[in-house]
Copies of this chain bind each other. A is one copy, B any other.
Amino acid sequence: MTRFALNQATTKYWPLPDLAAGCVAAGVTQVGLWREDIQAFGVARSAALMREHGLTVTSLCRSGFFQEDGWFDENRRAIDEAAAVGAPVLLLVSGGLPAGSRDIDGARAHVGEAIGELVPHARQAGVKLAIEALHPMYASDRCVVSTLSQALDLAAPHPAEAVGVALDTYHLWWDDTVWAQIERAGRAGRIACFQVADWVTPLPAGVLLGRGLPGTGCVELRRFREAVDAAGYEGPIEVEVFDEKLWARPGEEILADAMAGVRDHVL
């Protein structure tokens, strides 16, 4: 369980000081943070809180959204926040198609160019950019990067210490090519983040909030963990679940169930 990490989104309504104390009480040492939450609490204050509790920040979610005006400055700010809070990895969700556009190839090409423009600042800040493929159901409005293969293609032109990929089981589980792509990611030294969530059937209304804790759905979570391990990944296993019903429960309970889910269904 030393690899377990709690992503803050899983306990959305747990105030950060309570989350920090709760992690310490549960023996959890690693936390993934979210930009809006650390902005609300204060970035420097969040960093201090993590330090005081001996917590390691595994990742910062998230930036990207390269189809939006001002993406360059916004992503530079996100890189600075990641550095300030001690997150070695910043997750990038590419954004969807520009309004009225049908040019998904063009949108993907733009993502590649945009990441290239961010690399110098990311290297300077010591933050690795992690391109995340989101499930194809988000291709039009949130993320034109839909497969691990595409994420790796986009990362390829850049140095592996600056640009990697984030693997989230919820987004990738349906893809029969993902196992070969995980090997490819490992060979290229690109696996920067590994997040686990389960796919619950049927999808609740509002496809954004349809994830379940490990073990509640149909994803071969252990197979994914074994595949990333075999590919040489030794980093955190981060539980990131969006689910209104889960969020309504006390943070300590969610954390306990997330840990049990990883112990019983991922490790």
Contacts and interface: CB of A to CB of B under 8 A. Distances in A.
A146 B217 CA distance: 18
Contact of A206 (B101, B136, B199, B205): B205
Indicate the member of A139, A140, A202, A218 with the most B CB atoms within 10 Å.
A218
A52 interface: no
Contacts of A202: 141
Interface stretch (A22-30, A102-110, A113-121, A233-241): A102-110
Number of this chain's copies in the assembly equals: 2
Contact of A207 (B102, B105, B207, B220): B207
Interface residues of A, number: 34
Nearest to A179: B105
A56 interface: no
A140 B97 contact: no
The 5 closest A-B pairs by CB, nearest first: A139-B174, A137-B137, A136-B174, A140-B201, A205-B205
Given A104-B174, A137-B203, 9 more contacts: A102-B219, A103-B220, A104-B173, A136-B137, A136-B175, A141-B201, A146-B174, A146-B175, A150-B176
